[in-house]
Chain A
């Protein structure tokens, strides 16, 4: 089955700096890759997603890149702000089933 690895497990950055979180997946059939942000006491919130027919997607300060050949995808957050502090999860899915999540990255943005 699918296996998703995520690095780093914790990340601290200064406010205004960029943050990058990387995920790798094992199943070449996976074709949908969402990223979620989870704040304390809340459920995961979808922040951006990418499908396998696209190499890059951007939404304001957040971007995701996908390398299908290498089976990895990355989340990029620019101009980080304290409210970006949270746990971030990547996930992989084939056709909307059996979503497999990475173990999460705890991002701390220091003022």
Chain B
């Protein structure tokens, strides 16, 4: 058990809809990272938050947004969903912001767009 909790485990919705994925980091970790994993793209870094502030941005679409709350949990919001957004979405947490601290992953949310 990594200590990172993601909810829900599965999400099925339709094109054009909006969903929110939730992540609770390990106790004491200040950084949260979001990744998308699809069969043909591997693990793609989306965005990082550190202690409530955005720290780094990767290949995140404009239809996607995230935030980290004062209690350090994070949410990833996906809107105007398309079939191609079907994927596993992982959250990871680490202790640091700029330092090379190990990341610990949750078990992901599987998003299926019908």
Contact = CB atoms under 8 A, between A and B. Distances in A.
A97 B48 contact: yes
A89 B43 contact: yes
A96 B107 contact: no
Contacts of A42: 107
Contact of B90 (A44, A96, A104): A44
Interface of B: 2, 4, 31, 33, 42-45, 48, 55-56, 58, 90, 92, 94, 96-108
A99 B103 contact: yes
Interface stretch (A10-18, A45-53, A67-75): A45-53
A21 to B, nearest CB: 14
Interface in A51-71: 51
A96 B45 contact: no
Contacts of A31: 100
B10 to A, nearest CB: 11
9 contacts: A34-B103, A44-B90, A95-B100, A97-B48, A97-B55, A99-B103, A100-B45, A101-B42, A104-B42
Contacts of B96: 96
A41 interface: yes
B102 A34 contact: yes
Contacts of B94: 96
A5 to B, nearest CB: 11
Interface residues of A, number: 25
Given A96-B94, A101-B43, A43 B105 contact: yes
Contact of A43 (B44, B55, B97, B106): B106
B24 to A, nearest CB: 14
Given A45-B2, A96-B94, A102-B42, 5 more contacts: A36-B105, A42-B107, A43-B4, A49-B102, A99-B45
Contact of B105 (A44, A93, A96, A100): A44
A28 interface: no
Contacts of A103: 42
A96 B29 CA distance: 13
